[in-house]
Amino acid sequence: MKKLLRFLSAVCVIFAALFSLQLACFADGIELTPEEENYISSHQSVKIGYVRDRVPISFEDDNGEFGGISRYIFDHISSVTGLNFEYVPLPTSDVTYDYLMNGGFDLVSSVEYNKENQMARGILISDPYLSSRKVVVARDGLEFRYDAELSIAISTGSQTIKKVLGAAYPNFKIVDYPSTSACFDAVNEGRADLMIQNQYVAEYWMSKPIYEKMKVIPVLGLDDQLCFSAVVAFNGGEGVPPEEGRVLIDILNKAIANMTADEVGSYTIQGIMENQYKYTLSDVLYRYRYAASALAVLFAIILVLGALLIRQHIRIVENKADAKAKKQFLSTMSHEIRTPLNGLIGLNYLMSRTTDDAERMRDYLKHSTMTAKYLLSLVNDMLDMSSLQNENLELDLRAADLKLVFETVSSIAESALSEKDIQYTSEYDLKYPFVVCDEVRVQQVVLNLLDNSRKFTKNGGSVTLGVTQEMTKNGKALTTVTVTDNGKGMSEEFQKHIFDAFAQELDTVSKGNQGTGLGLPISRRLAILMGGDLTFESRKGEGSTFKFTFAASAAERDATKNVLEEEAKKVRPKILVAEDNELNGEIITELLHENGFETELAENGKAALEKFKKSNVGEFGIILMDLLMPEMDGFEAAKAIRSLGRSDAKTVKIFACSANLLSEERQKTVECEMNGFFEKPLNIDELLKKINE
């Protein structure tokens, strides 16, 4: 009896097993062969390589996990077949056949479906699991013509795209880029005219504000079908594909066929909706970049002015006998800083309330920029005064054409004088037009004198510029510049203090004209530094005459021509910008791009060092180095670059960029073998002039 029971029990177990196997073979409508069942049971997991930057189709999420529409498809396949998948992100470039074989990959996801040439290329691919369209993306304003010579960026390395485009547009140049983002950047920055991309991927990336000027051009009728590729050792077109790879593809094809159109649509919608582009702080700053730039300039100016005020305050406090000067300085500076700051604060408040009104925003930004420029000129004047007082200012002497210098000055002055209907005349008697001088400082002094005449001359008045020359006994050409006006003139009392810092005589003519009272003191010190002087004559109610003289060595006529020719021959260097503040980095690189320079941005000193190491010898001609940065500061980075054993490590120009104006910091830059120092906020004209040299 016991034996009979054991026999019946064994029979039941066998039937149960057979029944379970039958259910497995037909689970969810998928009929698997014994060979396929054996493959699934014998493989603990299938290793899959996925593309990490094609949102929403295939990407690596914030947790380092595989996500997107392709992941939903794999989850479905796993549920209906019992296959277990291991997901590994692929590098953005150099995904070669050897790399996949040596890495032990079984499959690659999101591969372009190309049934016709799969055998010739030595690959096995599944049936397509997702169909969409390929689109052409370009910047606004591009004129698309079929016969044009345009460059096209593609990120997939697809032979199919190259064949289709080569046949349809023989004049097009196809350029491979390592990633989707690299393609978008190339088109956005004008390095490529067009790019080809999957419709879903293009829509995601074009949601970014930085690509707001890009659009889809409806000129390409090409389906984009995605499938899976099996990684197998197989010579395309020769021999028979390995059995194991064929079995895996057969399983995948059955699972793909098992999916309904509704299920695929659901996965697609879910992938798109769950992975829409999320705005970041940098996107908001980019969208309101002009307002952010104005605020950044404002805060930088406040910091610099604060540092200058503290330093000047300490200097005055230490000199107890100068209590009156201290009071006058603080009173004047308080007025000069608070007045424009009040305007800036009010403008920024108004901007925050009118972000949707582009016209009013532009008007507020215009006034904000003008006010910020005035504050910056105040900082520059104070720095000039400080340098002149400490005898730290050096002249940039070079051959110059004085006729061109004064014609440039007249062109600038005429525009401002005409706004007040002031008659302007100029007369040049240049016996020695070619001299060695600092033409920028000469222009600075003359423009300051002409601007003073404009401020203190009524509408309808007149201003005259006269220039004469004579040779001195020591062989120098002495140039005398005379600026005469018929304005209000100055009282005898004020004339005693005209060259004092912050000295201003208030009257109805100058009311509403901002001024620091530093222009004339600076101009006179510059004149003395140039071997001359600045004198004046004035009568209250009748006008004023200023005479600016400077001595310079005569130069050959061809000297200035040679200088200009040499400047024209220079190739603009590529610039490495080391800046940890994202907004500041974006602003400086954009300004340099607008002026024709190629740039590369490093987020700290360590990154700058690595980028320089990886660059070709001579690739970077200039490095703009912020001093205070995480990971590695500017001083350490400069030392490390100089110590590299390559020929350009000693010759590349390294300029420090910092808001720290202490003399100790400047000295450290010299010790680190830097070539110069730019103060923040950066004077763009000065920066461009220096790097062009």
CATH of the domain at 629: 3.40.50.2300
Question: Is the dihedral angle over the CA atoms 473, 474, 477, 482 positive or is it negative?
Answer: negative
pLDDT at 607: 93
pLDDT of residue 121: 57
Residue 630 domain-assigned?
yes
pLDDT-derived band of residue 145, with 50, 70 and 90 as boundaries? confident
Contact 159, 182 (CB under 8 A): no
Within this chain, do residues 533 and 412 fall inside the same structural domain, yes or no?
Answer: yes
Specify whether 523 is located in the same domain as 502: yes
What tens digit of pLDDT does each residue of 217-261 get?
A: 766 566 778 887 787 765 554 445 577 788 888 999 999 998 988
The pLDDT score that the predictor gives to residue 220 is 58
* Cβ contacts of 688 within 8 Å, gap of 6 or more: 595
Q: 542 and 680 share a domain? A: no
Mark whether 580 and 654 lie in a shared domain. Answer: yes
User: What values do phi and psi take at 63, rounded to 5?
Assistant: -95, 5
Domain assignment of residue 37, yes or no: no
Task: For residue 551, list its beta bridge partners.
Answer: 478
Of 340, 370, 389, which closes a domain? Answer: 389
User: Domain tally for the chain?
Assistant: 4
pTM beyond 0.95, yes or no: no
| pLDDT per residue as tens digits for the range 164-208 | 777 777 888 888 887 888 888 899 888 999 888 888 888 888 888
Say yes or no: 423 and 378 in one domain: no
Tell me which of 316 and 126 has the higher pLDDT.
Answer: 126
| pLDDT tens figures, 31-53 | 889 998 998 888 889 999 998 88
- The first and second tokens of residue 514, run together, are 């901002």
For β-strands 653-658 and 620-626, DSSP reports them as parallel
Residue 298 lies in a domain: yes
Rounded-to-integer distance, Cα 354 and Cα 205, Å:
28
Answer yes or no: are the C-beta atoms of 52 and 58 closer than 8 Å.
Answer: yes
- How many other C-beta atoms can be found within 10 angstroms of the C-beta atom of residue 29? 9
pLDDT interval class at 149 (50, 70, 90):
confident
Same domain, 588 and 678: yes
More confident residue, 261 or 666: 261
Q: What is the largest CA-CA distance in the chain?
A: 141
Same domain, 581 and 688: yes
User: Domain residues for 323?
Assistant: 283-389
Angle between helices 634-642 and 663-671 (to 10 degrees): 20
Of 389, 411, 438, the domain-final residue: 389
- At residue 568, the pLDDT reads 46
Residue 231 lies in a domain: no
Are the C-beta atoms of residues 479 and 438 closer than 8 Å to each other? Answer: no
Say if residue 380 is in the same domain as residue 440: no
Q: What angle do CA 520, 525, 526 make, to 5 degrees?
A: 95
Here the CATH number for the domain that contains residue 545 is 3.30.565.10
> Does residue 253 belong to any structural domain of this protein?
no
- For residue 107, which amino acid is it? L
* Residue 343 and residue 411 in one domain: no
What distance in Å separates the CA atoms of residue 646 and residue 619, rounded to the nearest whole number? Answer: 12
508 & 579 share domain: no
Question: Is 233 a domain residue?
Answer: no
Q: Give the Cα separation of 602 and 587 in Å (integer).
A: 14
Indicate if 500 and 432 belong to the same structural domain: yes
- C-alpha distance from residue 418 to each of 305, 406, 407, 424, 454 (Å): 33, 18, 16, 8, 10
Residue 141 CA, chain-centre distance (Å), reads 22
What band does 484 get if pLDDT is binned at 50, 70 and 90?
very high
Considering the chain, what percentage of its residues have pLDDT values greater than 70?
A: 71
638 is a domain residue: yes
175: in domain: no
Question: How far is residue 218 from each of residues 136, 137, 141, 282, measured CA to CA in Å?
Answer: 7, 9, 14, 31
Given a cut of 80, whether residue 156 has pLDDT beyond it is no
Q: Of 389, 414, 447, which closes a domain?
A: 389
> Based on the domain organization, do 664 and 583 belong to the same domain?
yes
Distance of alpha carbon 329 from the chain centroid: 39
